[in-house]
Structure 1
Amino acid sequence: MKSSARVFSRATRAIRSIPCPVISPAPSGLPWWTSTAASGSTSMVCARKQLPPSSPKSRNCALKNNFMKLLNFFCALLLLSAGCKPGSSAPTAVASTNQTYSARGVVQAIPADHRHATIQHEKIPGYMAAMTMDFSVRDPNALNALSPGDEITFNLVVSADDDWIENIRRTGSSTAPAPPTWRVVAAELKPGDELPDCEFTSENGRVVHFSDFRGRAVAFTFFFTSCPLPEFCPRMNRNFSEARTLLLADTNALANWEFLSISFDPDFDRPEILTGYGNFYRGGDTNRWLFAVASTNTLAVLAPKVDLMFWRENGSITHNLRTVVLDVNGKIPRQFDGNDWTPQQLADAIREAAKTSAP
């Protein structure tokens, strides 16, 4: 199912990118859903858990009915395939090989631990648009000789559930201005603070609010369906899937809890898209896990409160990662920044939040 989710992501990106209904055949050897518009495309992709390079913290046209039918048909085929293995309520691992993409860019920042580097990269053909990202490295020594402003070439390696860069080589230096920094416009909430009520459109088309979950502990995270990197939105959803499995299997755990996955791409992630995407991770079982999408007005209020940062760059979406736990009174006992937290940590946080006494 991990591989299926990645294919779904690519399918939505391919369909999203079509500026007109004229489709050219897919290259030989590629599946039919990777067809692209003859006039070109613009993808929307997400960036790593860090912020813009100097931050103090770290579609184009209406979707045509025939493309929706195409996507729904593709979803049905994948769900049918998933259903051939009975008793599975969560995605199952599928063996796949790593894919490697050649890239070039300019180093914007390297943290002291040398575990990742923020790079303003050019378009990576066949994978993503030009943007600024924070890439992981497997070997910290690979960054020892690099400094901000260095021009580099590198390989981006993508597996079913991870991604990193390697073969990094300095080719020169750049005097080009850095991408714009993020401006903090509102204070982030602290543990114990109450989260303001916000409304979303759920996958079933209904309007829901945080207040609808009063009396239940809630864990919510952010994503968008065409996010291509396994370490980002797909990892958030895999972690939610595994944490839900842990909680449902715990006969001593309280039952007053809910998971909520919130898309920040209202232009594309409409209810029918959310349902198909969500079922890749839920295994068709919607028990205590809802997918929804936030409007731009909701995001303007909510994002600063939890330090969610996202912006559009060269036609793409760059964002960090935030996962928040609410207790039964709508207050924040725990927030997970980035993607280093585990499903067990989230399950433990939900158990504690569910025990909170109502006023």
Structure 2
Amino acid sequence: MRLKYVLFLGSTLALAGCHQQTPADKVAAMPQQTFHMRGKIVDTDPSRGEITVDHQAIPGFMDAMTMPYKLAQPETISEMHKGDMITADLLVRKDAAGFRAPTLAHIVVVGQARPDTLPAVQYNVPQAGQDVPDFHLLNQSGKTIDLAQYKGKALLLTFVYTRCPLADFCPRMSNNFAQIDQSLASDPELYKNTHLLSISFDPAYDTPAVLKSYGGAHTGKFTKETFQHWEFAAPAAADLLKVEQFFNVGVTPGGDPAKLSHSLSTVLIGKDGKIVAWHPSNDWKPEDVLAEVKQAAK
């Protein structure tokens, strides 16, 4: 079955390749879709500006497999090595002939295979039953909070930064959380036994005032929001890397300081302070995570 799938995919890509006479501006005008990828680099080809990735299944696009991909920014290939674990956006154009021009963008190395100019960083892979460190954060009200204070409740947390321009990343996480928050509010007992927390990995910009405005906009209560159930917070700059490493959030600054390439991480922590579930991409559905939260809150 796996071989048949690979052959079918090859035919699909080949079909798209038969239209090379289509002007680049026509291809660029085709609808674009974005998928999230996670995998391991098995080869790099600087001359072609592409890397070969052994990646996990990409929901809605393809099964797990190994294949080469063009880079949206070929000059970044010097920072990538065989064996590196990465997350990335897979950008594809689509018309009646199928998917075209698969390209990788917003690549984040979440595990280095070879020491580079930067020290190797080891990222934890969140697992069910794992104790969560008592990280300290500064919330939207300028108050220092710590994760231990939520013991006794089911805590659902995710990572965002308020300037994120990608609709399928931070905005999608915040919109998903808004749906979950509204659903939980319909059950007073369940609402009392749960809590939501959005953590920014951009503490220099995401000050309490910025987080308060951002949070109020997403809860829909704006200046009337009390943040009793859904908080927005950021770690101190000195603690940021530890938080990112534990929750497996890879963040790479871009040329524009307002744009950060990053991976995603949504974690459900049980009443006992241990991890219940981890969602490392943007393909989870609010109703599915809501069901997990309800179970954890019992």
Provide TM-score, normalisation by structure 2. 0.64
Instruction: Please tell me whether residue 115 in structure 1 is matched to residue 85 in structure 2.
Output: no
Runs of 5+ unmatched residues, structure 2: 1-33, 63-68, 75-86, 113-120
Query: Residue 135 of structure 1 is aligned with which of 72, 85, 90?
Result: 90
Corresponding residue for residue 193 of structure 2: 256
Cα deviation, residue 133, structure 1? 5.1
Structure 1's 146 and 236: CA in aligned 2 closer, same or farther, altered over 3 A? closer
The 5-angstrom pairing of residues 333-352 of structure 1 reads 333-352=276-295
Q: Which whole-Å CA distance do the structure 2 matches of 1:352 and 1:250 have between them?
A: 14
Q: Is the 8 A contact 2:160 2:198 kept in 1?
A: yes
- Three-state SS of the structure 2 residue aligned to 1:54 is strand
Name the structure with the higher strand share.
2
- Three-state SS of the structure 1 residue aligned to 2:179 is helix
- Three-state SS of the structure 1 residue aligned to 2:98 is helix
Corresponding residue for residue 332 of structure 1: 275
Q: Is the 8 A contact 1:322 1:337 kept in 2?
A: yes
The 5-angstrom pairing of residues 275-314 of structure 1 reads 275-284=212-221, 285=225, 286-314=227-255
Say what the alpha-carbon RMSD is for the aligned residues.
3.6
Instruction: Please tell me whether residue 54 in structure 1 is matched to residue 41 in structure 2.
Output: yes
Structure 1's 204 and 301: CA in aligned 2 closer, same or farther, altered over 3 A? same
The 5-angstrom pairing of residues 16-35 of structure 1 reads none
Q: Is the 8 A contact 1:49 1:321 kept in 2?
A: no
What is the number of equivalent residue pairs in this alignment?
224
**AA paired with 2:41?**
S
Cα deviation, residue 141, structure 1? 3.3
Q: Which whole-Å CA distance do the structure 2 matches of 1:147 and 1:273 have between them?
A: 33
Q: Which digits, 9 at most, give the CA deviation of each residue in 1:101-141, with x for residues without a partner? A: xxxx955457676939673348xxxxxxxxx9513436493
**AA paired with 1:198?**
F
Structure 1's 199 and 346: CA in aligned 2 closer, same or farther, altered over 3 A? same
Corresponding residue for residue 191 of structure 1: 128
Q: Which digits, 9 at most, give the CA deviation of each residue in 1:76-101, with x for residues without a partner? A: xxxxxxxxxxxxxxxxxxxxxxxxxx
Provide TM-score, normalisation by structure 1. 0.54
Aligned-pair identity (%) = 27
- Three-state SS of the structure 2 residue aligned to 1:218 is strand
**AA paired with 2:287?**
Q
- Three-state SS of the structure 2 residue aligned to 1:333 is strand
Q: Which whole-Å CA distance do the structure 2 matches of 1:298 and 1:334 have between them?
A: 23
Q: Which whole-Å CA distance do the structure 2 matches of 1:349 and 1:299 have between them?
A: 27
- Three-state SS of the structure 1 residue aligned to 2:275 is coil
Query: Residue 182 of structure 2 is aligned with which of 226, 237, 245?
Result: 245
Structure 1's 55 and 288: CA in aligned 2 closer, same or farther, altered over 3 A? farther
Q: Which whole-Å CA distance do the structure 1 matches of 2:177 and 2:108 have between them?
A: 32
Q: Which has the higher contact order (CA 8 A, sep 6+)?
A: 1
Q: Is the 8 A contact 1:310 1:317 kept in 2?
A: yes
